[in-house]
Structure formats: structure tokens, C-alpha cells
Structure 1
């Protein structure tokens, strides 16, 4: 019997045990029964809001807002009664270039000195299974307009680090930035802005 086969024998013997044990289970599972009714706060260490816009018709570029705050009030028995509000500190923007980030803070775009936050407050939730249409008011640059988010429940459970009950969601929508008065360089820099949200709430 050669040396390689001898070394492999313990692994072969352990294979049935490993197969039975399976992969470690993730703490978060797409299971509504894991959602406890109550008011949850945004876990701003694990929440990102990404925007994507077209540049001169050549390609898309994007940035990410971090450190949002807010809350979710939810009762899994009455999902359409859920309420969500999010505040986004616009200065917490990350892009691939420092000079681009600085330009985004000017009056050409976010005018962060005058309008340091953007807010979303829900007004209606239409839930169906693990998905929902969330209508609400987005206030940006001092202008408030209705928007609708396509939302999806992505997991719930106990966070093994914080020990807190945690719920995750993904949301998306497309905005016309000119509706909020951000019309600089349209149409060379696209008017349509795709928004993707990955967010966790905890209590």
C-alpha cells in the first residue's frame, strides 16, 4: 500500500460523518416565522444604498451611501401595516475617486452643506409573500416626491455577534434626479438613477 493511499484513508473514513453533518447553517433564513413583531432600528454597520447613473452614454458609474439611520415597525401577522423611515447622511458617500466625491457634495449635485440628509418615509405597503411594494415620500435637496420601492425579505434570525434579532431586506427603484432639482449635466450624465438598497434592521 503506497503512502498516498495511507494518508487518504482517514479522510475516506470521515466522509460519511462529514456528509451527515452538512454545511454550517446561516443565522439568517428567509422564514417569516422568525420575524418578531416590534420596532427595529437600522443596523447601519450593515446597510448600504447604491446609486448607478450613466456617463455620456459610454458606461455606468456608481456610488454608495453608508451609515443610514431609521426604523422599521413590523408585525408579520399584518405586513401591510409595516412602517419604515430612513435618513441618509449624504456626506457618507463613497465613490472610486476623491475628486468625484467632492464634486458630488457641491451644489451641482447633492449640495451637502445646505441639505445634509435625505429621508424616506413610507406611506403604504403592499406585501405579497416575501416581496412588497413600498410607497413613500423621498425628500432630497429640500424637495419631497413620492417613490415606490420593490422590496424583498432576505433573511431573519439572531445575529451571532450582537445577539440581536435581525431582519434583512433588499430594495430597488429608479428615480429621475431632475424631479428633485438635480438637473446638472442632464442628459450627458443620465437623468435616470438606479437605486439598490441592502439593509438590515435589529432589536
Structure 2
């Protein structure tokens, strides 16, 4: 996928005659969705994944800043390449997966780029709930049309979100002597138009 080939630019120029005159809901597509997280463990980067079990997006071409996103993930299925790190991650002092099995992100604001265009860079702000604690976070956001699709074909899209959190803000303070506080989050979700 060519990330420069953004759907965002196309969406910014849509008019009602394209058939997109109303907000359009999307659901997870067959390609699914994954959250990849990155953290430093004893000075070395470690990556892991959490499967997304729900990703709903509504795109409003006439008011792109009114578009919305809701993403949830089952933290009990979080994985890293290291068994001990995976178990520590799900422990009561970090994600506390047994008592808080679901992480959720609900968007509250889409900020368009220069000139009101998503193609000039956009951010997605919202509330992340982790371990039962909700904090406001911000993602850099991208939205892409399927490779090879027609210019007016928005039936399948890929959403990409990139951000960082400080795990201490969510009470995930375990293993502070081994794991840095900053965690990178990347979400990639394939979504398809509902109906």
C-alpha cells in the first residue's frame, strides 16, 4: 500500500453526487485489525500485538471533522515474542487483564490539516480506557483506499492510527525497573462499508 495515496485527499473533495451525501458507517473487514505496541525492556525494543475485536468508523464526507471511531481490544489475548514478557504484561501490576479484559478508544475530535484537508495531516483525539482508567490521548491518523480500487470506490478502507501513552497514567506501573514508561501504539484496521 502506498501510504501517500491517501483516501483522505479524495474524501476532502467529494460532493453529494458521489452518493456519499450522508455519514457512512463501517465495520471490521475480512482483513481484521491489530494493535501493535512497542516498549523498551531493559533497553531493548519489544513489540507485541493485541487483536481488535471491534472497530466502528463513521465517515462523513461533507463534514470530515465529524467522523467518528470506536475501537476495542481483548487485552487477555495480548502477545509479545517473549513468554515471560507476555505474562508480565497481563499481570495485575500492568494491564490487569483478568479484571479489565477490554481496552477501548472512543474518538472525541478529528482535527483536519491545513486548509481543512485530511491529506495535509490529521489527528484523532479521544478517550482511551485501560485498566478501568480513562485518559485523553491523540493519534496521528490516516485513511486509505484499497490498492487498485477506483477513485470513487470507498467500500473498503484501511485506517491507520499512531500514538504514544505513558503507562503510569493508567496505573500500569509494574516492572518499572525493567520497562520504560512510554509505550508506542499503532492501530491498523481494515474496514468495510456497512450495508
Is TM (by shorter chain) over 0.5? yes
Question: Are 1:42 and 2:28 matched, yes or no?
Answer: yes
Match of 1:118 among 73, 83, 103: 103
Shift of 1:144: 0.5
Q: TM-score, normalised by structure 2?
A: 0.78
Q: 1:79 to 1:156 in 2, by over 3 A?
A: farther
Q: How does 1:89-104 map to 2 (within 5 A)?
A: 89-104=74-89
2:180 is aligned, of 179, 184, 190, to 190
Kindly name which structure, 1 or 2, has the bigger radius of gyration based on alpha carbons: 1
Structure 1: unaligned runs, 5 residues or longer: 1-25
TM-score by length of structure 1 reads 0.75
Superposition map of 1:105-144 within 5 A = 105-128=90-113, 129-130=118-119, 131-144=121-134
Deviations 1:4-39 (A, max 9, x none): xxxxxxxxxxxxxxxxxxxxxx9xx63435995411
What is the CA-CA distance between 1:54 and the residue it aligns to? Answer: 0.8
Quote the RMSD (CA, aligned, Å). Answer: 2.7
Runs of 4+ in 1 over 6 A off after TM superposition: none
Cα distance in 2 between the residues matched to 1:145 and 1:184: 19
Q: What is the distance in 1 between the residues matched to 2:87 and 2:41?
A: 17
Separation of aligned partners in 1, 2:63 and 2:141: 16
Structure 1 equivalent of residue 160 of structure 2? 170
SS in 1 for 2:105: strand
Aligned residue in 2 for 1:14: none
Q: What secondary structure, in the 3-state scheme, does the structure 2 residue paired with 1:46 have?
A: strand
How far is the alpha carbon of 1:157 from its aligned partner?
Answer: 7.4
Secondary structure of the residue that 2:72 maps to in structure 1? strand
**Quick check: 1:52 aligned with 2:42?**
no
DSSP 3-state at the match of 2:184: strand
Cα shift at 1:44: 6.8
Residue 30 in structure 1 maps to residue 6 in structure 2: yes
The 2-side partners of 1:89 and 1:43 are apart by 18
Change (3 A) 1:72 1:121: same
Paired residues, number: 173
Unaligned runs of 5+ in 2: none
